[in-house]
Amino acid sequence: MWTSFVLIILGITGTFYYASIGGLGDMPDLKVLENPKTNLASEVFSSDNKTLGKYYFNDNRTPVTFDELPKHLVEALLSIEDIRFYNHSGIDFISTFRAILKFGRDGGGSTISQQLAKQLFHGEGSKNTFARISQKIKEYIIAIRLEKQYTKNEIIAQYLNIYDFNNNADGIRSAARIYFAKEPIDLNINESAILVGMLKNSSLYNPRPHRNPIGVKNRRNVVLNQMFKYGYINEIIKDSIKEEPLSLKYTPESHREGLATYFREYLRGYMKEWINNQGNRKPDGSKYNLNTDGLKIYTTINYSMQGYAERAIDQHMPRLQQEFFKQNEAVDDSIAPFRELTSGAVDTLLRISMRRSERWRKMRYDMKKSPEEIESSFFEPTKMTVFSWDGDIDTIMHPIDSMKYYKSFFRPGMMSMDPSNGFIKAWVGGMNYKHFQYDMAKKGKRQTGSTFKPFVYAAAIDQLHLSPCDTFPDSQFCIEKNKFGNVEQWCPKNSGDKYGRTRTLKNALANSVNTITARLIDRIGPKPIVKLAKKMGIEQRIPPVPSIALGTPDLSVYEMVAAYSTFANKGVYTKPVFVEKIEDKNGTLLYEYQPETRDVLSEEAAYVTVNLLEGVTRAGSGTRLRTVGSDEHNLAYKNVVTGYPYEFKNPIAGKTGTTQNQSDGWFIGMVPNLVTGVWVGAEDRSIHFEEIAYGQGATMALPIWGLYMKSCYQDSILNVSQEAFEKPDYMTIELECNKFVIDSLGTGKNTDQEILEIDF
């Protein structure tokens, strides 16, 4: 008997020793134990240190420390998984023998350390009996080594960080954010019990809506019973929580959902370039992996301001779209939603768009289909999910019809920036990244209309020392052929062909008078304006021709906001910044931004331009920012404008812009510490409102600016300026005019008709 006993002991000891030296398969060395190879998502932070999003392939994992876990979450884990965790050294022999005697009917007796060992190094195990026994032995050994290498608290944190809670919820932090929209430390007992209950089977006990609500509640209640059993909660708390609903707030974390989706996608491209830069390498010389190396990217985006910007778009755009759909009912079905096009031209446009579509690319290059087969598929009924402002719609539609449907939607582009340091505070490239992926904040370039005029005025003020009080005749005016290299004589028109009075510069810009802008560019020439615009951050090529004065160049919201910020920043251009710093997963600093600035205008010229732009909101096309949206003037716009109570009292400088046929609507508004630009238009310029009342910048874009700024001002933490722009100590240009005429066309009413009308 004693011989048998000794042989058994020696056999067990020998087996464990044999396994520890790799006899039953590779065992991780101590270095691997110190730094387990788990993929970590790179995380994007806002300026106020909130998570905007993550980059990852399969593992959306961001580790937390034990101190970031709530006490009741740990207690729930111990109650259901390993109540003697703090008293054993990796193996709980009591639970192990109980599991053997009961043949595993009440669980396998694995400790948290053993479960971590399995998660880290061996996965789910084999169905082969010998392989399962072999794996179990290795788990015992690894668990003991883990206990030697880590504290108990570190093991708990690692286990919760490594566990896959499904739906891209890799680890406890992602699970807390995805299922409850919280950080782990903010979880309550109910939520903690639900997540701990998922550790048994995260698929079966998944709280995602409509999956298994009864099973999830039952499993939660089992956890609560165990917490009561071991004295972590009393009976009153247990019974009250059992009566609570699951209280799920399912918030998927994906590249196409969440806050700042367009910005995050642009940032992804920026990070790829940064990673490919030879100067940004790991210590071993290899490249960083954005999806697995756990980089921490700290951006300038303000979480609250980004949310206000997106909410402003969600408030205004459905109303604008509803009005367009209503007006579009009168358009011939053969061309709708396009205007001024023949049915043949519409067909040609759609076929061009067809070949540029993602559907065409996939079928042509991934499925190797012929052009004829692909084109035919666009006319076959297909199941699809399409966008609507009331939520996604599952439907059956011909792909060619879905193209027309999507083209009928107006799209926004918006950016907000601090002019003093270039920090971008909000970035919205569209209204729904899942359905409209082209970024209209940075990538999209559209005609700027009258928002380009301040560059003309600024150049004239800087070169000619003009005053806002200087007067010019508002009469038809032509720039002669070949004066600036243009082929034909150029004779711009005012909106409505109305002329016949003298205006101050302030009045002319406030009411966007084309003829006076033309007189200014005639005096200074287009080349100085192009040079000034370039120095102010305009990246696109601008042809040096007179027509640029009325906004013919195609520019982005990003460029326009950066350029206008020069006015607000006393004539100093500051390059936009959207990444403050980058750290590796250990917090080591890898990159920190360096400001880039240059002097462009004198402080006086910049202030005078701002003074002119203040006239736009006092007596020009931006005056509705001062109203409640219910006056006689605004009633003309019914669903689009009425009901937006802005009533701003503080100084605001800004400019609206509207292009030919109302294809583009702009508004760029400034206060001393924030410049925000908004563009609204359809994908194709032939899709627009018939009437300027609805199609102008003051109706399409300005309301988004107003709603956004209203929210910013209501949030006192943001400290958005309500003060006046700082006046230079020394001024040589007269600003106070004896007479400032606000009646732009002799009608006694303010108008917004600043349409771009050019004759070539």
Question: Residue 184 half-sphere exposure, CB side, CA atoms within 13 Å?
Answer: 24
Q: With 0-12 CB in 10 A as exposed, 13-18 as middle and 19+ as buried, what is 366?
A: exposed
* Cα radius of gyration (the chain): 33
pLDDT of 753 > 50? The answer is no
**What is the percentage of the chain residues whose pLDDT exceeds 70?**
86
Per-residue pLDDT tens digits for 265-274? 999 999 999 9
Query: For position 340, what pLDDT does the model report?
Result: 81
pLDDT of 129 reads: 56
DSSP code, position 577: B
Spacing of C-alpha 704 from chain mean position: 16
Is residue 127 predicted with pLDDT exceeding 80?
Answer: no
When mean pLDDT is compared over 326-340, 348-362, 532-546, the highest value belongs to: 532-546
| Residue 94 confidence class, pLDDT cut points 50, 70, 90 | low
> Can you tell me whether residue 504 is helix, strand or coil?
strand
Task: Work out the pLDDT band at 37, boundaries 50, 70, 90.
Answer: low
pLDDT above 80 for 755: no
Position 583 scores a pLDDT of 96
* Lookup: tokens for 253: 């974390």
Tell me the three state secondary structure of residue 732.
Answer: coil
pLDDT for 440: 96
**Is the pLDDT at 592 greater than 90, yes or no?**
yes
Residues 612/79, Cβ–Cβ less than 8 Å: no
pLDDT-based confidence at 754, cuts 50/70/90?
very low
Q: Please give the backbone phi and psi of residue 164, each rounded to the nearest 5 degrees, phi first.
A: -95, 110
Q: Residue 299: what are its φ and ψ, rounded to 5°?
A: -105, 170
| Average pLDDT score over residue span 188-201 | 93
pLDDT recorded at residue 739: 44
709 pLDDT band, cuts 50/70/90, is: very high
Across the range 221-227, mean pLDDT stands at 94
pLDDT at 746: 38
pLDDT band at 77 (very low <50, low <70, confident <90, very high): very high
Fold of 418-580+588-718: Beta-lactamase (3.40.710)
Residue 253 is predicted with a pLDDT of 78
pLDDT digits (tens, 9 = 90+) for 342-369: 888 888 888 898 888 888 888 888 888 8
Give the per-residue pLDDT at 628. Answer: 58
Higher pLDDT, residue 749 or 426: 426
pLDDT attached to residue 599: 96
Position 561 scores a pLDDT of 98
Q: Which of 130-139, 504-513, 594-603 shows the lowest mean pLDDT across its residues?
A: 130-139
Position 437: which residue type? Q
Residue 95 in this model has a pLDDT that exceeds 90 = no
Average pLDDT, the chain: 86
Q: Which whole number is the average pLDDT over 167-180? A: 91
Where residue 578 falls among pLDDT bands split at 50, 70, 90? very high
Q: What confidence tens digit (pLDDT) does each residue in 544-572 have?
A: 999 999 999 999 999 999 999 999 999 99
Assign 111 a pLDDT band (cuts: 50, 70, 90): confident
Most confident of the following: 127-136, 280-289, 622-631: 280-289
Q: What would be the CATH architecture of the domain defined by 2-35+61-252?
A: Orthogonal Bundle (1.10)
| Domains of the chain, residue spans | 2-35+61-252, 418-580+588-718
Helix (H) or strand (E) holding 299: strand 296-299
pLDDT band for 34, please (50, 70, 90 cuts).
low
pLDDT at 530: 96
pLDDT in tens, 602-660: 999 999 999 999 999 988 888 888 875 544 444 444 555 545 678 899 999 999 999 98
pLDDT of 163 above 50: yes
Q: Is the pLDDT of residue 130 over 60?
A: no
Tell me what pLDDT residue 28 has. 59
Three-state DSSP state, 384: strand
Q: Quick count: other Cβ atoms within 10 Å of Cβ 684?
A: 17
Task: Please state the φ and ψ torsions of residue 739, each to the nearest 5 degrees.
Answer: -140, 120
Three-state SS at 657: strand
Provide mean pLDDT across the span 688-711: 93
pLDDT in the model for residue 286: 92
Structure tokens at 549: 């004065």
Strands 296-299 and 42-45: parallel
User: Which pLDDT score is estimated for 476?
Assistant: 87
Mean pLDDT across 691-706? 92
Is residue 751 scored above 50 in pLDDT? no
CA 584 → CA 171, 504, 590, distances in Å?
A: 19, 57, 7
Q: Is the dihedral of CA 129, 130, 134, 135 positive or negative?
A: negative
Q: What is the pLDDT of residues 402-460, one digit of tens each?
A: 999 999 999 999 999 999 999 999 999 999 999 999 999 999 999 999 999 999 999 99
pLDDT value at 12 more than 70:
no
User: Among residues of the chain, what percentage have pLDDT more than 90?
Assistant: 58
pLDDT at 132: 59
pLDDT of 107: 54
Asked if 181 and 66 count as a contact pair (C-beta separation under 8 A), the reply is no
Say yes or no to pLDDT of 750 above 70: no
pLDDT for position 631: 40
Q: Residue 694 in 3-state DSSP?
A: helix
Other beta carbons within 10 Å of 421: 16
Q: List the end-to-end C-alpha distance of the chain, in Å, as a whole number.
A: 111
User: Any idea which of 225-239, 628-642, 715-729 has the lowest mean pLDDT?
Assistant: 628-642
How far is the CA of 128 from the CAs of 131, 465, 499, in angstroms?
5, 89, 92
Q: What is the Cα–Cα distance from 485 to 719, expressed in whole angstroms? A: 49
Distance in angstroms (rounded) separating the CA atoms of residues 350 and 476: 40
